[in-house]
Amino acid sequence: MKLIDIVNRAANPAPWSEGEKIPWDDPDFSQRMLAEHLSQRHDAASRRYDLLDRQVAWIHDNVLSSQPTHILDLGCGPGLYASRLARRGHTCTGIDFSPASIAYAQKSATDEGLACTYQLGDIRQTDYGQGYGLALLIFGEFNVFRREDARQILRQTHAALGAGGRLVLEPHTLDAVAANGANSPRWTSYSAGLFSPQPYILLTESSWDASQQIATERYFVIDAATGRVTRHAASMQGYTPTEYENLLLECGFEDVKFHPSISGSMDERQDSLCGITARKGRGG
Ligand SMILES: C[S@@+](CC[C@H](N)C(=O)[O-])C[C@H]1O[C@@H](n2cnc3c(N)ncnc32)[C@H](O)[C@@H]1O
């Protein structure tokens, strides 16, 4: 793209029409993103370890009653939850389509001798395996899927759980998705950053489709040396609590419960998300 394409851009792009998501699965981007997952300066890609430890403790103590089980982590990133849960006696399978994150997770598990296996794959197209006691889909990733993909992921997750298996979902609240869509346009310059190792200017623009409850964020990355423009876009589907509950029931789950967070307490680092637990019936 060229600079003129920014000038001529569509005013309000249809959700997902200009891109599925930021390029998590691009090898170079995923390598740069890995540094953000592991950074202890912010909670942007993964939560910092203090919060992550509290969330893992809540899952282990409250959801699993400290009973060892086999855990599926969908969108596991660099395995920060899976490795902690494995240290508490669980066996874990993580699936993610970020090559750098999966390579890091695999190496960490091998180095530490943890009972974790990782698979590089898109969770919309990957076989999850069978017989899990718990499935995780956390840190808001649920909302970046179109409604039909989200439903299919939940159905597949339900099928992958054993009888009585639990789900921990951590989606965004509708208010947080709407606030995301209402953000003012903004720009930043980087000498090197997430979108490029070369100097670039990043223009970010948000829009909100109220009738569909979808926020879309567009990123125009302008290479400072050449003026070449690369566009990325990501959309987020918002749901009311009733919609979350109905969707889970429709996908076969029972005992749907809402929690202020997945750490047992609420603070400003988690207030754009909520915790939902659900169960697969004993009859399977
Ligand atoms: C916000 S990060 C959270 C990672 C991890 N759950 C954590 O909290 O540390 C979202 C993760 O979802 C992964 N992801 C997004 N879409 C995916 C897809 N369609 N299939 C597999 N992984 C996906 C990304 O690669 C990224 O690692």
Give the residue, by CA position, lying nearest to ligand 1 atom 8.
46
Task: Average the pLDDT over 128-135 and give the result.
Answer: 98
Res. 149 pLDDT band, cuts 50 70 90: very high
Closest to 55 measured CA to CA, from 269, 272, 280, 279: 269
Domains of the chain: 3-21+176-237 (no CATH), 39-171+242-279 (3.40.50.150)
Q: Which atom of ligand 1 is nearest the CA belonging to 25?
A: 25
Q: Examine the pLDDT at 284 and tell me if it is beyond 80.
A: no
Question: What six digits make up the tokens of 178?
Answer: 């709407």
Q: Is the CB of residue 168 less than 8 Å from the CB of residue 275?
A: yes
30 in contact with ligand 1, CB cutoff 6 A:
no
Q: Which of 21, 96, 143 to mutate to test the pocket of ligand 1 (most atoms within 8 A of CB)?
A: 96
pLDDT of residue 270: 86
- Distance set, CA 108 to CA 32, 33, 78, 118, 208 (Å): 18, 17, 9, 11, 40
Q: Examine the pLDDT at 21 and tell me if it is beyond 90.
A: no
Q: Please tell me the distance between residue 199's alpha carbon and the centre of ligand 1 in angstroms.
A: 26
Q: Which atom of ligand 1 is nearest the CA belonging to 140?
A: 1
Beta strands 161-169 and 275-280 are antiparallel
77 in contact with ligand 1, CB cutoff 6 A:
yes
Give the residue, by CA position, lying nearest to ligand 1 atom 2.
45
Amino acid sitting at position 184: S
- Alpha-carbon distance of 77 to 96, in angstroms, equals 6
Give the residue, by CA position, lying nearest to ligand 1 atom 4.
77
Give the residue, by CA position, lying nearest to ligand 1 atom 19.
122
Mean pLDDT of the chain: 97
45 in contact with ligand 1, CB cutoff 6 A:
yes
Q: Is the CB of residue 102 less than 8 Å from the CB of residue 96?
A: yes
Contacts of 103 (CB under 8 A, 6+ apart): none
Res. 165 pLDDT band, cuts 50 70 90: very high
139 in contact with ligand 1, CB cutoff 6 A:
yes
145 in contact with ligand 1, CB cutoff 6 A:
no
- Alpha-carbon distance of 67 to 167, in angstroms, equals 15
